[in-house]
Chain A
Amino acid sequence: MKSFYHVVSVLMVSLLLTGFSCDKYAKAGQLAKDFAATVLVAQQLEIQAYNSGYIQPVSHVVIQAKFSQVADAGVGLDRAINQAHNAQGAKAQIDVAASLLSDLSNNQITGIKDEKTRLAVQAAIVSCQSILDNIAAFAQ
């Protein structure tokens, strides 16, 4: 049941991502922060599921390694936004993060045998992708 609350929370945040600032730099920064926060929630969901015995150690290690790579890409995204003071100079970093999330969603989490857990983790990752899509759209 806790997984349900996690997923609902993540999805709610995605839906609430409207951006409150008219300042392009502030809005890009806000989206970047929300992206980071959503990835953190997805990671915590996976860790909780692993600690509860729903994910095999081999899959867990692979998924966490991927989360670490997403974090590196996220830091690169933040730097690009900071340097350009908007999201327009961050396309390369957005693409890297999108590729990592796609790999997580399409390949890595398929190793999770428990279907409910796999769907919950996938929903969280989809939320991350949705926010990243918002950043990409904002960068157009």
Chain B
Amino acid sequence: MNASEILKLLSLIAAAEPAILGYIKSLLESSQGMTGDQFLSEADGIWAQVKANAAQQLQPTSASSAP
């Protein structure tokens, strides 16, 4: 895969979802000299988001209102 193909793939991904953009951003930031504490702090924040998403989805109204 050459550079232009990689750029094309990245542009396709970027157009897909804001969440993916945030994910790629966090990946890029992870190479910028963060400490172990900083990484783990961010990880805990992400886990909190996973828990919140799950809690929202597990609400009876949420599960039953979807198709």
Contacts and interface: CB of A to CB of B under 8 A. Distances in A.
Interface string A51-71: 111000100110011011011
Contacts of A21: 33
Interface in B16-54: 16-17, 19-20, 23-24, 26-27, 30-31, 33-40, 42-44, 46-51, 53-54
A44 interface: yes
A43 B19 CA distance: 11
A43 B53 CA distance: 8
A39 B66 contact: no
Contact of A36 (B43, B55, B58): B43
Contacts of A65: 54, 58
Given A9-B23, A41-B23, A61-B63, A28 B47 contact: no
Contact of B50 (A6, A13, A25, A40): A40
A50 B57 CA distance: 10
Nearest to B67: A53
Interface residues of B, number: 40
A82 interface: yes
Nearest to A25: B36
A29 B50 contact: no
B12 interface: yes
Given A29-B36, A44-B19, A57-B66, A39 B30 contact: no
Interface of B: 9, 12-13, 15-17, 19-20, 23-24, 26-27, 30-31, 33-40, 42-44, 46-51, 53-55, 57-58, 63-64, 66-67
